[in-house]
């Protein structure tokens, strides 16, 4: 390089360094604003919404100074916080999951592996945030640890339906290792889900690296529990050794281009110091001109840089990175001194060190901060998050022991007021609304459609087609057998934008008040957890089996984080062997329209499937709109 070119390069680097300082100042100010938002959230008691912003993760560097030269392994303790998972005789899956996870982490760290944990204590972390945490921190392997329940015994491991190669190899090594330590039964390596080999569990299909779910015995099986307790350290070593052995067999693949999945570099602290960029022969030293860690340098192949204003990066066809201005990377030419990049605060796509759990703020790929406009966008996102937090109803815990458990059979009655609103629903709303219950909506010309789904009779697809054609959203209250057996319809409900409500695990015909408080909670949370685990979906609305409720059951459901949803219109539509006349039914549905109407319709009704479109049209002709309960 001649002296003139060298001088120009030095001047350019000096300018870039100065600009980087300005950008760092901007980001620092953004974090100060974020701190105020979090402080306000905590001071106002919106702890539920704190996890929505941060995913219950620490704000510091997730590597905490322990980044090693070997694999980066993310261990996921299933469930946690309000999500107990399975339970048996006061033994909760979430606790066993955390025990084995911490044991595996300790073993791997003794082996000089880098370990990240999605949770280290009894906190709730959404499935989305678990996956985002792993993806944005560029881990090599993701292992989710669980216990099973039901009729059975032994250990099984789940991988995604298309898994082969490294994923299947890691899972099989774990299974073999656990078998050598001692298990009741080897239930095998399984693909997909319990429902279908073509479906996938959320964490397996939404992580970017080899991943698996390890089910370490049945929590309701005494022998499995004894083996789990006796062999905890042995199980931990078996899992750790299996992952390390898999890495040894594939470490050359992970070493190419920074890492095997296209990321690179050691993530910086809390998403401030850039992490992408290590590639080719550039090494990983983190010093100017030598590799990753936020400083991009030279290499024989094009690399993803994160330098400010594109000053860093080198090789042929360097790709755009995730720096502050979003213009990092250069084409051709050797890079003498890369400038540390500042990754954006969204999910930037590259496996740099975005702040863990930030997926709730920015979703779009490459959503990095770009000058003052980027800061404004970031702060607007924070403001929207806080407004959503302010608007979200806080759960006020209610002591069920102080409430009457006398069972009541809900029905809106036939008496109506001058606006055709059922008097029974109005009185119930006044009496029980304070217990987070909805019997009738506000006094506006709005109708809310809800469908109960206890089992499938072949009419749900027709109902969904009509709702889509008419652009109407509804709530579908489902039971656990329904979501287990009719996954395709459930996924369509979600994809079409409908709300899924909780209609209990087993739909006890005697009603919730007829069972113990613990059993009532299990009826609610059992399905809640199943939906989280299998669909990544969080429910918040509950409908009582057979319409039987009590003040105590209202309190229990409220404490589970649910609103109890009843109805102000229903009719005898659920007898599949004696369906009502379609013309008479349509007339009844139209004649009983009223402000704030909550319609209960059964999805197994052939009549409802036939008249739904006409009902929507006639209701709209009378000036009504259709809302959805949220």
Q: Which residues are catalytic?
A: 452, 602
Q: What residue has token string 């089910």?
A: 215
CA distance 98 to 119: 8
Cα dihedral 383, 389, 392, 396, rounded to 10, equals -160
Instruction: Please name every residue paired with 75 in a beta bridge, in sequence order, or none if there are none.
Output: 117, 143
State the DSSP string of 275-293.
-----TTS-B--STBSB-T
Residue 597 bridge partners (DSSP): 447
DSSP calls for 480-493? HHHHHH-HHHHHHH
* Gap between the Cα atoms of 215 and 155, Å rounded: 6
Residue 535 CB-density burial (10 A; 0-12 exposed, 13-18 middle, 19+ buried): buried
Residue with tokens 């739909």: 507
Question: How would you classify the pairing of strands 72-77 and 114-117?
Answer: parallel
Torsion of CA 564, 568, 569, 575, to 10 degrees: 40
Does residue 438 contact residue 564 with C-beta atoms inside 8 Å?
yes
Q: 491-494 — which CB contacts under 8 Å span 24+ positions? A: 491/535, 492/461, 492/464, 493/464, 494/535, 494/537
**Beta carbons within 8 Å of 557's beta carbon, 6+ residues apart:** 436, 512, 520, 524, 542, 564
DSSP label of 443: S
């Amino acid at each position: 390089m001649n002296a003139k070119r060298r001088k120009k390069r030095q001047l350019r680097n000096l300018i870039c360094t100065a600009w980087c300082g300005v950008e760092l100042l901007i980001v620092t100010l953004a974090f100060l604003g974020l701190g105020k938002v979090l402080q306000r959230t905590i001071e106002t008691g919106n702890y539920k919404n704190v996890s929505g912003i941060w995913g219950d993760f620490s704000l510091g560097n997730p590597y905490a100074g322990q980044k090693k030269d070997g694999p980066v392994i993310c261990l996921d303790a299933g469930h946690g916080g309000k999500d107990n998972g399975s339970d048996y005789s006061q033994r909760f899956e979430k606790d066993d999951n955390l025990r084995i996870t911490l044991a595996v982490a300790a073993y791997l760290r003794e082996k000089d592996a880098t370990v990240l944990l999605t949770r280290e204590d009894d906190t709730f972390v959404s499935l989305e945030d678990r996956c985002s945490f792993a993806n944005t921190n560029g881990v090599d392997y993701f292992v989710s640890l669980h216990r099973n329940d039901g009729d059975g015994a032994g250990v099984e491991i789940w991988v995604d339906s298309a898994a082969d190669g490294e994923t299947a190899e890691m899972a099989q090594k774990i299974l073999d290792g656990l078998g050598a330590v001692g298990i009741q039964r080897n239930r095998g390596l399984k693909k997909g889900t319990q429902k279908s080999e073509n479906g996938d569990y959320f964490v397996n299909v939404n992580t970017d690296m080899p991943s698996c779910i390890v089910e370490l015995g049945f929590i309701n099986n005494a022998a499995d529990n004894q083996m789990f307790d006796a062999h905890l350290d042995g199980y931990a070593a078996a899992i750790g050794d299996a992952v390390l052995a898999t890495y040894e067999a594939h470490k050359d693949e992970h070493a190419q281009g920074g890492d095997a999945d296209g990321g690179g570099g050691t993530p910086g602290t809390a998403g401030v110091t850039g992490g992408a960029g290590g590639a080719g022969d550039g090494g990983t030293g983190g010093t100017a001109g030598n590799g990753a860690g936020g400083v991009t340098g030279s290499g024989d192949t094009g690399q993803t840089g994160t330098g400010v204003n594109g000053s860093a990066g080198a090789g042929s066809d360097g790709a755009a990175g995730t720096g502050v201005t979003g213009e990092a990377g250069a084409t051709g030419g050797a890079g003498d001194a890369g400038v540390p990049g500042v990754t954006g605060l969204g999910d930037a796509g590259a496996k740099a060190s975005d702040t863990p759990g930030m997926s709730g703020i920015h979703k779009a790929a490459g959503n990095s901060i770009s000058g003052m406009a980027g800061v404004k966008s970031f702060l607007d996102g924070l403001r929207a998050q806080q407004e959503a937090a302010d608007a979200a109803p806080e759960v006020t815990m209610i002591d069920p022991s102080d409430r009457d458990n006398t069972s009541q059979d809900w029905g809106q009655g036939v008496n109506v007021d001058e606006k055709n609103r059922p008097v029974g629903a109005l009185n119930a709303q006044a009496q029980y609304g304070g217990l987070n219950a909805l019997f009738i909506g506000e006094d506006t010309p709005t109708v809310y459609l809800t469908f109960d789904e206890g089992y499938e009779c072949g009419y749900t697809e027709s109902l969904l087609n009509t709702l889509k054609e008419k652009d109407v959203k509804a709530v579908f209250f489902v039971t656990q057998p329904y979501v287990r057996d009719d996954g395709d319809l459930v996924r369509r409900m979600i994809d079409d934008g409908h709300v899924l409500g909780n209609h209990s695990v087993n739909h006890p015909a005697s009603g919730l008040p007829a069972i113990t408080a613990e059993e009532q909670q299990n009826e609610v949370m059992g399905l809640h957890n199943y939906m989280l685990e299998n669909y990544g979906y969080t429910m918040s609305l509950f409908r009582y089996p057979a319409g039987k409720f009590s003040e105590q059951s209202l309190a229990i459901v409220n404490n589970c984080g649910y609103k109890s949803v009843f109805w102000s219109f229903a009719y005898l539509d659920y007898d599949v062997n004696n369906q009502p006349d379609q013309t008479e039914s349509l007339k009844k549905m139209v004649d009983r329209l009223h402000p704030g109407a909550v319609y209960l319709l059964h999805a197994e009704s052939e009549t409802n499937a036939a008249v739904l479109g006409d009902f929507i049209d006639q209701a709209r002709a009378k000036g009504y709109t259709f809302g959805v309960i949220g």
